[in-house]
A and B are shown apart, each in its own frame.
Chain A
Amino acid sequence: MTKRTNQEWLDELRAPGREDTLADLRSLVVRGLRYALAGRASVTEQDLDDFAQDALLKILAGLDSFRGKSRFTTWANRIAINVAFTELRRRKWKDISLQDLVAQHDDRSGFTPVVLTDSAPTPEQQAIQQMMLEKVQQIINDELTERQRTAMMAVMGGMPLKEVARRMGSNSNALYKLLHDARLRLKKRMMAQGLSPQKVLTAFET
């Protein structure tokens, strides 16, 4: 493959008769994806082709957004990886509903485990930990909207942000901001009640 500068890549991809350059770009993207997705048994050769094709379209559509802060080939590989991983996450989570995932972490049992840390806490430590957890629980219920609680639990339950956003009729950036706001509100309220997050975490380490 011909070695090109960033500007050469851009100029050639924008020019008519760019087939050779496109072929080189495709080859580069496929090679990169092969390494990026190595070890994933569910990924087929057809998948690699499809991901590469989608990535090429995105790269070509986004040429004007390339700012030259990195090598063009790095930028192209980054886009291809994002395309592939986004699709693989969608496939993995497509049959899992938000409600089911959230319900898994909603503790209706009323059961409080005796040991909340790796080391066996004393009865006094257990009482403090239990009190702290109940306070945090109350703050979460008071401060966060239903939407924020659901989103937080889903993301912490392992669902990719984009998948949560899709199910909530949003996009990943808006959802990130929703969750960021939620964390800020929780932090502010916890600090106001003399319950700094670090203090809570420390109580569970001892």
Chain B
Amino acid sequence: MMKLEPAMLKQMVRAVASTRLDEIDCNECLEELDRFVEIELAGKNAAEAMPLVHDHLTRCRDCREEFEALLTVLRILG
């Protein structure tokens, strides 16, 4: 039987706590990411406009990394 170290257990519980039925996967998030970033850059509330994308970005490290990179690029290049 697998016995997890306490830090890992707590991390799992944190992930479980924020779980919702209507999550989107990485492909779905990435497909909407360009629009999400543009809303963000326009100074509007992207989290409110696209809540499922925002939710995915709070739980997916890889997509969040790409979101932050895209935001950086567009901020610099316009």
How many residue pairs at the A-B interface have CB separations less than 8 Å?
132
Residue of B nearest to A129 (CB): B6
Contact B62 A78 (CB under 8 A): no
Residue of A nearest to B78 (CB): A73
Residues on B with C-beta less than 8 A from A106 are 2-5
Q: Cβ of A74: which chain B residues have Cβ within 8 Å of it?
A: 34, 37-38, 70, 74
* Binding site secondary structure of chain B: helix
Q: Once the chains are docked, how many angstroms separate the CA of A78 from the CA of B76?
A: 15
Residue in chain B with minimal CB distance to A89? B62
Q: Give how many B residues have a beta carbon under 8 Å from the other chain's beta carbons.
A: 41
* Contact call B26/A173, Cβ cutoff below 8 A: yes
Partner pick for B19 among A156, A161, A184, CB 8 A cutoff: A184
Closest to B10 in A: A204
11 A-B interface contacts by CB (under 8 A)? A35-B73, A82-B30, A85-B62, A136-B13, A137-B4, A140-B4, A140-B12, A141-B1, A141-B2, A152-B15, A204-B10
Binding site for B on A (CB under 8 A): 31-32, 35-37, 69-71, 74-75, 77-78, 81-82, 85, 89, 105-108, 112-113, 116, 133, 136-137, 140-141, 149, 152-153, 156-157, 160-162, 172-173, 176-177, 180, 183-184, 186-187, 190, 197-198, 200-201, 204
